[in-house]
Amino acid sequence: MPTTVILGAGIIGLSTAHSLTLLAPPEHRIHLVEPAPELFASASGKAAGFVAKDWFAPAIAPLGNLSFDLHRALADKHNGRARWGFSESISYSLDHDDSLSTTSADDPTDPSDTTAGDTKGGGGGEPERASIDGQNVDDQIPVSGRNGSQGQGGLDWLLNNVSRATVVEGDVVEKAQSESTGANDGDDLPHWLRAKPEALQLISDRKSTAQVLPRQLCEFLLEQCLAAGVTLHQPARATKVWRDEHDPAAVTRIRVEYLGPLAQTSDGRARTVDIPCDSIVIAAGCWTPQVYTTLFPNANRIPRITHLAGYSVTFKSKYWPPVRLPANREALKGSAPNPPAPSGPGAATTTSSSVSALVQSNVCHAIFTNAGGFAPEIFSRANGDVWLGGLNPASTQLPELPTDATLDPGEIERLLAVGRALCGEDIDLRTEGLCFRPVSVTGRPIITRLHEADLGDGAKPGGHDGAGGVYVATGHGPWGISLSLGTGRVVSEMVLGRETSADVSALMKW
Ligand SMILES: Cc1cc2nc3c(=O)[nH]c(=O)nc-3n(C[C@H](O)[C@H](O)[C@H](O)COP(=O)(O)OP(=O)(O)OC[C@H]3O[C@@H](n4cnc5c(N)ncnc54)[C@H](O)[C@@H]3O)c2cc1C
């Protein structure tokens, strides 16, 4: 019976398991092994959840495209909006220096302000100067496109501490801007941001960017996997690959050792299970090199994966989610016998006659800016949160497990200072996070079947008829959520010996 063991239950391991449940014949067994005592404590559960279709370098572009389509299709099929906050998203770069609105009087949700959406803060007055950590920030995010700072793998922006907005192609921006003259554009502005519309530059439209809640997406994928018969071993780790030397017909097995409360049997022995396997997929994010060297101690080559830490906070803003008026308010008067209760802060300032006309906005936002000496990325999400990150200290050490990460309160304060400057003093902190992006030396993901020769002379699943063997899927850096479903698809196709749905040949070099 064909069996695949996937090491790592982050979004890449989960997407692979999920795709295998859809593509493999029913007798194909799938195991997921995860050592952390808490699921989704890694980047896969804490990321912003921004998803893009065409923000990638040529080597990654086919995968980005496939993945974006799969995100949409999955959300359409399983009500992704309700289950993991899937939403179209509009992206802007924000010239922060010119951005702050003037007074609290320009409440963006005030329905009596018929200019809302066109001229937030249009009541006049000089904007406050942006000053965060005592610094005035003058730079507008450069939207330079591929020839600017994207480099080989699209990671230069991250390592140079600027925003991912710098990788957007000039033609993508132009296209978004030329198509942005629709009647709803004003309504789609990020009114929760203390920014003047003229400080916002549209860089991508709702057709090419989206937003998800990564943790909820992981939960959904896992739920689907378990329902399809995938076995989850957690907390547990794989300790060796072995085969009975004396039995020429013996199959290769992987030993999985349980951890934590499951570590010992009732008679005090280590609890282990040996799983016969045809395929091993290493999808352990930043921990991939450790997994690899544990299982293949004599390997000639080791996938070179480092890590880049990222701090984040999520908070509630009283202006997100917005309440907004449809273009023709009169037409709606009296037409909604059971109006939805307005959940946004605008409810407080809304007249009762207009309540019936309030509708929730459908679109989320991605904001890229410069502030506080770094390049904040801010995302409004469909569950009513705002996610803020972009503080990526290069010196932060990788913990033994994602659950061992220790936050520096000073970094959280830096993020919150930016959050207050951009979203108001009264933001309500919900979560704080520190997690780690897996980064390869090329800046591109590594998605490949390994050559047996590279694995050294120990036991290994060899595969047959083009299917099976040892695979690595990692190094997605700042794009693992976006590229997850496509990665899962192509890895599962490789495992099954099929042609891949996207050309990932450039990602097989490592
Ligand atoms: C602050 C921040 C914001 C981000 N925002 C976005 C975004 O908006 N959009 C986007 O596309 N991407 C984003 N990313 C990137 C994205 O989160 C990552 O690329 C992605 O989560 C990587 O997924 P993964 O499954 O490879 O790794 P991980 O999520 O790290 O999962 C690896 C798993 O392997 C497990 N593991 C550890 N040791 C072992 C072992 N010995 N055996 C088996 N398993 C092991 C870990 O416990 C973990 O569960 C962001 C990242 C950060 C840090």
CATH number at residue 249: 3.50.50.60
Same domain as 457, residue 423:
no
* 135 is a domain residue: yes
**CB of 86 within 8 A of CB of 75?**
yes
Same domain as 132, residue 38:
no
Same domain as 93, residue 169:
yes
Residue 475 domain boundaries: 3-69+214-304+442-507
The pLDDT, as a whole number, for residue 462 is: 81
Same domain as 251, residue 201:
no
Same domain as 235, residue 288:
yes
Phi, psi angles (nearest 5°) of residue 61: -55, -45
Same domain as 317, residue 183:
yes
Same domain as 276, residue 258:
yes
Our answer on whether the CB atom of 5 is closer than 6 Å to any ligand 1 atom is: no
- Which residue owns the Cα nearest ligand 1 atom 21? 44
Domain end call among 405, 424, 440: 440
Paired sense of beta strands 386-391 and 305-316, if any = antiparallel
Domain end call among 404, 425, 440: 440
Which atom of ligand 1 approaches the CA of 402 most closely? Answer: 47
Per-residue pLDDT of the chain (510 residues; tens, 9 = 90+): 899 999 999 999 999 999 999 999 999 999 999 999 999 999 999 999 999 999 999 999 999 999 999 999 999 999 999 999 999 999 999 987 655 543 333 443 333 333 332 222 222 222 222 222 222 323 333 333 333 333 444 566 666 666 666 666 666 666 666 665 444 455 688 989 998 889 999 999 999 999 999 999 999 999 999 999 999 999 999 999 999 989 988 999 999 999 999 999 999 999 999 999 999 999 999 999 999 999 999 999 999 999 999 999 999 999 898 765 454 444 444 333 333 333 333 333 333 333 333 334 579 999 999 988 999 999 999 999 999 999 999 999 999 999 999 999 999 999 999 999 999 999 999 999 999 999 999 999 999 999 999 999 999 998 777 889 999 999 999 999 999 999 999 999 999 999 999 999 999 999
The pLDDT, as a whole number, for residue 184 is: 45
Domain end call among 440, 455, 490: 440
The pLDDT, as a whole number, for residue 1 is: 87
Structural domain tally of the chain? 2
Residue 155, domain CATH: 3.30.9
The pLDDT, as a whole number, for residue 491 is: 98
* 170 is a domain residue: yes
The pLDDT, as a whole number, for residue 249 is: 86
Same domain as 447, residue 426:
no
Which atom of ligand 1 approaches the CA of 379 most closely? Answer: 8
Same domain as 142, residue 33:
no
* 407 is a domain residue: yes
The pLDDT, as a whole number, for residue 413 is: 97
Which atom of ligand 1 approaches the CA of 389 most closely? Answer: 1
Contacts of 91 (CB under 8 A, 6+ apart): 165, 168, 176, 202, 203, 204, 209, 365, 366, 367, 368
Same domain as 447, residue 393:
no
Our answer on whether the CB atom of 8 is closer than 6 Å to any ligand 1 atom is: yes
**pTM listed for this prediction:** 0.84
